[in-house]
Amino acid sequence: MLFPNYPIINTHCHILNFAFVPNKMFKILSRIDENIVTKGSIQDIAEAIVKVIPGVKFDHIAEVLRIYSDNNIKKAAEWYVKQMKEAGIIIATPLMMDLESCFEANAIKPDENYIPYYCYSKDESQPSQINQISKIAAKYPWQIFPFIMFDPRRKSAVEICKFALENQGFLGIKLYPPLGYFPVPTVRQSDKINNALEEMYDYCGKERIPITVHCSTAGAYAQVNPDWEDIWEKTAPFQWLETIRKYELKVNFAHFGGKYIKHPLDQKTKKSLEWHLNIQTIMGSAYRMNIIGDKESVFADISYHSLAHNRKLQDEYFQDLKELLSNKYSQTQVIFGSDASMISHTWSEIEVLQPFLSYLNENEQERLFYQNPAKFLFENGEIPSRYINFIKKKIAKSLEENSLPDWIIKQGDKFQLKKLAHSNSALN
Ligand SMILES: [Zn+2]
């Protein structure tokens, strides 16, 4: 087992459990009867999953299921933070999933074991996923920086996100267009959705809020018989160019298009390859046209890149990744993400890192693991004051100089992410 020499920032992970996923979504995605999940033993479920998903390891999946079915988000976070320590990950950004807004009202049955994503009654004692994750952020200051999900179809979506960003410890926003909407304003969807998008992006641009958008041919969708044409149109990266420019956004295309190598190419892989190349074109035009001044605008994370672990394809994968980490258009834009706990059925965090540690040289690792993610998450390496205010309110003690972790330094009333001692390049 190799161990990293650098502190690592994971820009893409998830802390959740079964109570965060509506039954209806579970049925669409898992291909496993929900009765097995509610009535079967962990042993039964693990065996069922090992049968449908090739490559999954029984002991890993059994552990994930134990955590997921326990429905205790604190334990899920503890489990993940332990993996972070083991792998040398100092900062992680769990992305929230609003899997509710894609369904018609009342799609969730009152008797199902589901915690609402948001609680409109504003009663803080009522459980909601947002409140639970906010508590996790407060429990792990300087370490867990969650992203709130923005679904423009949700009632008061913009207000909910702004409140979470300003008061609940959330660092950025996550979008998931394959759940059924175009992520940029278009005549093809309602004014109501377009207005919500415009209002959100206006705010994100001004506040330099990092935005992560799902961009892969794999993942969640809300249709029983998926219409791939429709889903892919909504996911396509090129539609973003004008909006990034107009609102001066900072966007991370999650998964960098998805699994884009396969011989021979099938339809899905072809689409992923197309997006993988499109994202590079967007990076290139951001660089050449300097579309938003000197501010960095386009990033791509490599989460769920199982290609790195595929014995037959990993040489090709790393040749490409090394090229991306050395050419001037993308060397500062490719960022590390693992997609834990979605990949935890097969890899723990330290296991995810193994091929990256053996294939990439020191410079490449430093960019991918630290410098680039830091630039995406923290403008000029500075922890935003909205986060500091949240910490001040929840756990003031952790702002004292002697309780700061290694990677945070205080300068005046500002908190900065430490620059790597051996680094030649500054964070910004
Ligand atoms: Zn993910």
Distance 216 CA to ligand 1 centre (A): 10
Is 220 contained in some domain?
yes
Say if 241 falls within a structural domain.
Answer: yes
Cα of 215 to ligand 1 centre, how many Å?
10
| φ and ψ at residue 119, rounded to 5 degrees | -110, 110
Q: Between residues 402 and 289, which one has the greater pLDDT?
A: 402
Strand 298-301 and strand 250-257: pairing? Answer: parallel
Tell me, in angstroms, the distance from the centre of ligand 1 to residue 71's CA: 19
Q: What percentage of the chain has pLDDT greater than the value 90?
A: 68
Structure tokens at 50: 């090992």
Single pTM value for the model: 0.93
- Give the three-state DSSP class for 325: coil
Q: Which residue has the tokens 């639970």?
A: 132
How many A from CA of 12 to the centre of ligand 1? Answer: 6
Instruction: Find the 234 Cα to ligand 1 centroid distance in Å.
Output: 17
Say how many domains are in the chain: 1
Using the mean position of ligand 1's atoms as its centre, give its distance from the Cα of residue 186 in Å.
Answer: 26
Residue 212 lies in a domain: yes
* Overall average pLDDT of the 154-173 stretch: 97
199 CA → ligand 1 middle, Å: 25
Per the listing, tokens 């769990």 go with 94
Query: What separation in Å is there between the alpha carbon of 97 and the centre of ligand 1?
Result: 9
Render pLDDT for 314-358 as a digit per residue (tens, 0 to 9).
Answer: 999 999 999 999 998 899 999 999 999 888 888 899 999 999 999
Q: Is the pLDDT of residue 17 over 50?
A: yes
211 CA → ligand 1 middle, Å:
13
DSSP-derived secondary structure for 337-382 = ---BTTTTTT--HHHHHHHHHHHS-HHHHHIIIIIHHHHHHSGGGB
By residue count, the chain amounts to 428
Given a contact cutoff of 8 angstroms between Cβ atoms, the answer to whether 410 and 363 are in contact is no
Cα(339) to centroid(ligand 1), Å: 5
Task: Tell me, yes or no, whether 424 lies in a domain.
Answer: no
Cα 298 to ligand 1 centroid, rounded to whole Å:
18
The rounded Å distance from CA 94 to ligand 1 centre is 9
Ligand 1 centroid–CA 340 distance in Å is 7
Q: Does a cis peptide bond (omega within 30 degrees of 0) precede residue 341?
A: yes
| Alpha carbon of 286 to ligand 1 centroid (Å) | 25
User: Of 248, 251, 269, whose CA–CA distance to 260 is shortest?
Assistant: 269
Residue 287 pLDDT exceeds 90: no
Cα angle for residues 138, 346, 272 (degrees, 5° grid):
90
Please give the distance, rounded to the nearest whole angstrom, from the Cα atom of residue 54 to the centre of ligand 1: 19
Mean pLDDT across 262-283: 95
User: Tokens 């892969």 correspond to what residue?
Assistant: 216
Given phi > 0 = left and psi -120 to 50 = alpha, else beta, which region is 290?
left
In a domain, 95, yes or no: yes
Is 247 inside any structural domain? Answer: yes
How far, in Å, from the CA of 363 to the mean position of ligand 1?
Answer: 26
- In this structure, is residue 427 part of a structural domain? no
Please give the mean pLDDT across all residues of the chain.
90
In angstroms, what is the span from residue 319 Cα to ligand 1's centroid?
24
- 289 C-alpha to ligand 1 centroid (Å): 30
Range(s) of the domain holding residue 223: 8-417
pLDDT at residue number 93: 98
Residue 422 lies in a domain: no
For residue 73, the domain's CATH number is 3.20.20.140
